[in-house]
Chain A
Amino acid sequence: MPIYKAPLRDMRFVLYELHGGEAMTELPGFEDFGRDLVEPVLDEAAKLCEQVLFPLNRSGDEEGCTLANGVVSTPKGFKEAYDRFRDGGWTSISCDPAWGGQGFPNVVSTLVEEMICSANLSFGMYPGLSHGAYNALARHGTEALKEKWLPKLVAGEWAGTMCLTEPHCGTDLGLIRTRAEPKDDGSWAVTGTKIFISAGDHDLTDNILHLVLARTPGAPKGIKGISLFLVPKYAVGDDGAVGGPNGVTCGSIEHKMGIKASSTCVMNFDGATGWLIGERHKGMRAMFTMMNTARLGVAIQGLGIAEVSYQNAVAYARDRIQGRSLSGTKAPDKAADPILVHPDVRRMLLTQRAYTEGCRALAAGIARELDVSQRHPDPKVRQAAEDYVALMTPIAKAMMTDLGSEVANLGVQVYGGHGFIREWGQEQYVRDARITQIYEGTNGVQALDLVGRKMPADAGRALRRFFHPVQAFIEAKVEDERLGVFVQPLAKAFVRLQQATAQVARAGLARPDEAGAAATDYLKLFGLTALAHQWARMAEVAYARLDADGPDTFYEAKIATARFFMDRLLPESSARFSAVMAGGRSIMEFPDDAF
């Protein structure tokens, strides 16, 4: 039986000891969110995730969603769990109080999201997609639209979706064919087919609000002619009562590798009534403002899977006895030693741990900057934070989901053959994690976003939001007796990142294919450097706590994990650096016919 316990100790460490979460209350609107409120909220979220969502993870995977007579049913227990989740107010945790939300900081809701993803990634898709729809509507919808649709969406009585993908267009949304024709009353008739729509149909809520990208008559070709529409599953009267069908149907559901309890639907829109969100032809812009948060959300999915996989792998490695330690018997009373003693098993567990805790630290830091970008009174500070978030979002999305998969795979490996067997629960994490590298923009596309958009924007202004603080940290700490061993490898990776950045910028200007060919390796080099920065800082905090309060295994383990990261994981940055510097010739000069 798989296990999951929310890593509350580490979450408190990241929030309050590493990122100074107490200062959160200084941001306007966050006055109430002191530690005395945030900690009980995390405790309660942990309880709900461990006791209500987690027990449905494996059964949901086995049963999957079903489509019968045009109606999608979620697996047994999901509806009841969703009711508890909604009644607890969790759908609205970070939503605007003006619409009935709880107004929590992103940095807190991010930790709650991680718990949901660890406990039951498929379940988390339903409120997750609703939240994406909420963000787009809250930022770009007219007051009338917001008043009509937002309160129920925030309350979780209605759910939401994001309808972008069509059979012939995934990454390249300029190819969209779904049409919207104006109607006399100012609404639109939306017609077309969308595929792969997560939570497109289900039995958890009374209504579903689809946010649909479509083309209006005479719109410019390509991406500049796309508009965003709100299209409900059922019409809703002025009194708020849910009425009849609105020409939106689920044609079929996909049979897929993972997240089987999340419905993935073909959605047919047949003259369905919709309303424009934002300006005409500016649909992509409306989509993009919510995309940053959605991409961070997917990064958190990778993290959530990594955490739960690690927890199970550790428990198994303590329990499973096999072979004797190379350095002499460790468990003489048993027929063999626990596999935890074997160097290679320890390598796997520490890899899982160092990536998971590193990603948690990085993600919380980004979420905190997101809060600053939305709340800080000083526009300059807001802009700086926004630049940082924009820069780090593709890095977090791609790296954290790649690592989520890698960590889940290591989890299977620790279990040996039992990892491959369904009833142990480990292989599900591999299958569930896999999609996170693909949707919400494939990881390849994230890398392109980094080198093609974020890097050159405003003459590299965003890059400085990462480079300057890291540089300052290195200069301040490199001579430190204890921290030197962490800061020196960081400094080495950092220099390489700067060289690689110059190379990608230079080569990319001359030949865009060069930037494209370097993108994925460059992103990983960037991500590893960012993790090294977090690990060096975590070691610093841990030492300070040990100095102040005396021995504590938590901080000792932090420092030991930081050392492992620097010794055994950060060296990958050298390989990535070499790959970037080698240039794209070997990739681009290979003849197409020879593939």
Chain B
Amino acid sequence: MKILVPVKRVVDYNVKIRVKPDGSGVDLANVKMSMNPFDEIAVEEAIRLKEKGVATEIVVVSIGPAQAAETLRTALAMGADRGLLVKVEGAVEPLAVAKILKGVVEAEKPGLVILGKQAIDDDCAQTGQMLAALTGYAQGTFASKIAVEGETLAVTREVDGGLQSVVLTLPAIVTTDLRLNEPRYASLPNIMKAKKKPIAESVAADWGVDPAPRLEVLTTREPPVRKAGVKVASVADLVSKLKNEAGVI
């Protein structure tokens, strides 16, 4: 079985992001970029399936600027087999990504597509679901455990109330949650091997998709600074404050 893993290049999770002074977005100049952490989990899961003998090939795809090739190399260094770079400049929205991915799915015919549940830059959490709708494949989102059983895939989903188990017919779409696995560190020999693995380049138009954003960002603001808390003397004091000042009970 072939597994397709889309990976996104995002601001590194360690970076303290700053809003541009004109409010037009987040300042990306000289900022460290890395693979979206949920996508790392997706790559790791694909590699584990390959190590178990379930998967035969792992294809990673990134839709973004030329530098997204570095993100693909990271995935290749972890153990993916080859990469596809679909070059798009500027912001890409989930729907455009899902449409491009639909084309990639039709061309590559993977048995399983594993995506991160969301990207930590825009936090949309939409691409996997949209891709499922466009391809008509079954979806198991927010997965904390998956197991291939013949022609089906058992997925444990993290839902608000607890865990939900679903069984999907393959081919299927999975989006990863934090607890699915802990991604490995790439080894030095594998980083070197990754350099020699192929990355095929294309542009959005090759997939018949116009990636121009459909949403307009009006302004971007820093979240309000948290005010210092106060110490309360007793439980009674706390209750009275919650009632009278905060008005929450």
Q: Are A and B physically bound partners?
A: yes
Residues in A whose Cβ lies below 8 Å from that of B234: none
| A32→B188 CA distance, assembly (Å) | 13
Whether B77 sits at the interface, judged by CB under 8 Å, is yes
Q: Which residue of A lies closest to B195 (CB)?
A: A37
| A102 close to chain B: CB less than 8 A | yes
B73 within 8 A of A: yes
Residues of A within 8 A of B192 (CB): 32, 37, 102
CB-based contact A88/B188 at 8 Å:
yes
CB distance from A119 to the nearest CB of B (A): 14
Instruction: Name which residue of chain A comes closest to B14, CB basis.
Output: A5
Query: Closest chain A residue to B69 by CB distance?
Result: A36
Instruction: Digitize A37-75: 1 where CB-to-B-CB distance is under 8 Å, 0 elsewhere.
Output: 101110110011000100000000000000000000000
Q: State how many residues of chain A have any CB contact under 8 Å with chain B.
A: 24
Q: Given A36-B195, A40-B73, answer yes or no on A47-B185 (Cβ-Cβ < 8 Å).
A: yes
Q: Is B191 an interface residue (CB 8 A)?
A: yes
B187 A87 Cβ-Cβ under 8 A: yes
- Check if B186 sits within 8 Å of A44, measured CB to CB: yes
**A153 at the A/B interface (Cβ < 8 Å)?**
no
User: For window 89-134 of chain B, which residues contact chain A by CB distance below 8 Å?
Assistant: none
Report Cα–Cα, A84/B77, bound state, in Å: 16
- Chain A residues 70 to 104 lying within 8 A of chain B, measured CB to CB, are 84, 87-90, 92-93, 102
Is A40 within 8 A of B188, CB to CB?
no
Residue B62 interfacial (CB < 8 Å): no
Q: Which of A443-492 contact B (CB under 8 A)?
A: none
Looking at A37, A40, A48, A87, the one whose CB has the most chain B CB atoms below 10 A away is A40
B141 within 8 A of A: no
Chain A residues contacting B53 (CB-CB under 8 Å) are none
> Which residues of B sit under 8 angstroms from A8, Cβ to Cβ?
32
A552 sits at the interface (CB 8 A) = yes
Find chain B residues with CB under 8 A from A43 CB. 34
Distance in angstroms from B189 CB to nearest chain A CB is 5
For A88, give its contact among B14, B32, B70, B187 (CB under 8 Å). Answer: B187
Task: A93 to B192: give the CA distance in the assembly, Å.
Answer: 11
Q: Out of A84, A102, A554, which one reaches B188, CB within 8 Å?
A: A102
Do A552 and B188 form a contact, CB below 8 Å, given A5-B14, A32-B195, A36-B195? no
Closest residue to B228 on the A side, CB-wise?
A: A333
Distance, CA A37 to CA B188, complexed state (A): 10
Contact yes or no, B73 A84, CB < 8 A: no
Q: How far is the CA of A5 from the CA of B12 in the complex (A)?
A: 13
Q: What is the CA–CA distance of A40 and B188 in the complex, to the nearest angstrom?
A: 10
CA distance A92 to B189 in the complex (A): 10
A311 to chain B, nearest CB (A): 13
Instruction: Provide the main secondary structure of the chain B interface.
Output: helix
Query: Are A41 and B188 in contact, with the CB atoms below 8 A?
Result: yes
CA distance in complex: A88, B77 (Å)? 11
Q: Are A40 and B185 in contact (CB under 8 A)?
A: no
Secondary structure class of chain A's binding surface, majority of residues: helix
B176 contacts the other chain (Cβ, under 8 Å)? no
Which positions 70-98 of chain B face chain A at CB distance < 8 Å?
Answer: 70, 73-74, 77
Q: How many residues of B contact A (CB 8 A)?
A: 18
State in angstroms the CA–CA spacing of A87 and B34 once bound together.
Answer: 23
List the A side residues contacting B194 at CB < 8 Å: 40
Cβ of B191 and Cβ of A552 under 8 Å apart? no
A512 CA / B77 CA spacing, docked (Å)? 57
Contact of B185 among A9, A36, A44 (CB under 8 A): A44
Taking a contact as CB atoms under 8 Å apart, the answer to whether B187 and A40 are in contact is no
The residue of chain A having its C-beta at the shortest distance from the C-beta of B12 within the complex is: A43
Interface string of B183-225 (1 = CB under 8 A from A): 0011111111011000000000000000000000000000000
A48 to B184, CA, bound (A): 10
Q: Is B244 an interface residue (CB 8 A)?
A: no
> Shortest CB–CB separation between residue B70 and chain A, in angstroms?
7
Contact between A37 and B191, CB atoms less than 8 A apart: yes
Residues of B within 8 A of A9 (CB): 30
Contact of B70 among A40, A92, A93, A554 (CB under 8 A): A40
B residues less than 8 Å from A40 (CB atoms): 70, 73-74, 77, 186, 191, 194
Question: Who on chain B is nearest to A90 by CB?
Answer: B188
List, in ascending order, chain A residues with CB within 8 A of B188's CB: 41, 44, 88-90, 92-93, 102
**CA of A36 to CA of B34 in the docked complex: distance in angstroms?**
15
Q: How far is the CB of B186 from chain A (nearest CB, A)?
A: 5
Cα A571 to Cα B73 with chains together (Å) = 48
Contact B191 A44 (CB under 8 A): yes
With A5-B14, A32-B195, A36-B195 already in contact, the answer to whether A84 and B189 are too (CB < 8 A) is: no
Chain A: CB-nearest residue to B29: A552
Q: Which of B30, B186, B189, B190 contacts A552 (CB 8 A)?
A: B30
User: CB-CB < 8 A to B70: which residues of A?
Assistant: 36, 39-40
How near does chain A come to B218, taking the closest CB pair, in angstroms? 28
Tell me the A188-228 residues at the B interface (CB within 8 Å).
none
Q: How far does the alpha carbon of A43 sit from the alpha carbon of B32 in the complex, in Å?
A: 10
Q: Could you tell me the distance in whole angstroms from the C-beta of B200 to the nearest C-beta in chain A?
A: 17
Complex interface: chain B residues within 8 A of A39 (CB): 70
Q: How far is the CB of A490 from chain B (nearest CB, A)?
A: 29
Most A C-beta atoms less than 10 A away, residue of B189, B190, B192, B195:
B192
Measured CB to CB, the nearest residue on chain B to A88 is B187
Q: How far is the CA of A278 from the CA of B168 in the complex (A)?
A: 66
Within the complex, the shortest CB–CB distance from A481 to chain B, in Å, comes to 28
CB neighbours of A89 from chain B (8 A): 187-190
A9 to B30, CA, bound (A): 9
Kindly identify, within residues 151 to 194 of chain B, every residue whose CB is under 8 Å from any CB belonging to chain A: 185-192, 194
Contact, CB under 8 Å: B30 / A84: no
Inter-subunit contact A88/B30 (CB<8 Å) = no
A397 to chain B, nearest CB (A): 27
CA of A14 to CA of B188, assembled, Å: 22
A264→B242 CA distance, assembly (Å): 59
Chain B residue with Cβ nearest A52: B185
Instruction: Kindly list chain B residues whose C-beta atoms are within 8 Å of the C-beta of A48.
Output: 185
CB of A172 to closest CB in B, whole Å = 40
Which single residue of chain B is at the shortest CB-CB distance from A33? Answer: B192
In contact, A554 and B187 (Cβ under 8 angstroms): no
A48 to B14 alpha-carbon distance, docked (Å): 15
**Complex: how many Å from CA A32 to CA B189?**
13
* Cα distance, A230 to B8, chains bound together (Å): 51
26 contacts between A and B (CB under 8 A): A5-B14, A9-B30, A32-B192, A36-B73, A36-B195, A37-B192, A40-B73, A40-B74, A40-B186, A40-B191, A40-B194, A41-B188, A43-B34, A44-B77, A44-B188, A47-B185, A48-B185, A84-B185, A87-B187, A88-B187, A89-B187, A89-B188, A90-B188, A93-B188, A102-B188, A102-B192
Chain A interfacial positions (CB closer than 8 Å to B) = 5, 8-9, 32, 36-37, 39-41, 43-44, 47-48, 52, 84, 87-90, 92-93, 102, 552, 554
Extra contacts, 11 of them, besides A39-B70, A41-B191 (Cβ < 8 A), are A32-B195, A36-B73, A37-B195, A40-B70, A40-B186, A44-B77, A89-B189, A89-B190, A90-B188, A92-B188, A554-B30
| Interfacial residues, chain B to chain A (CB-CB below 8 A) | 14, 30, 32, 34, 70, 73-74, 77, 185-192, 194-195
Enumerate the 9 nearest inter-chain pairs by beta-carbon distance, A residue then B residue, closest first: A89-B188, A88-B187, A89-B187, A89-B189, A44-B186, A102-B188, A37-B195, A40-B191, A41-B191
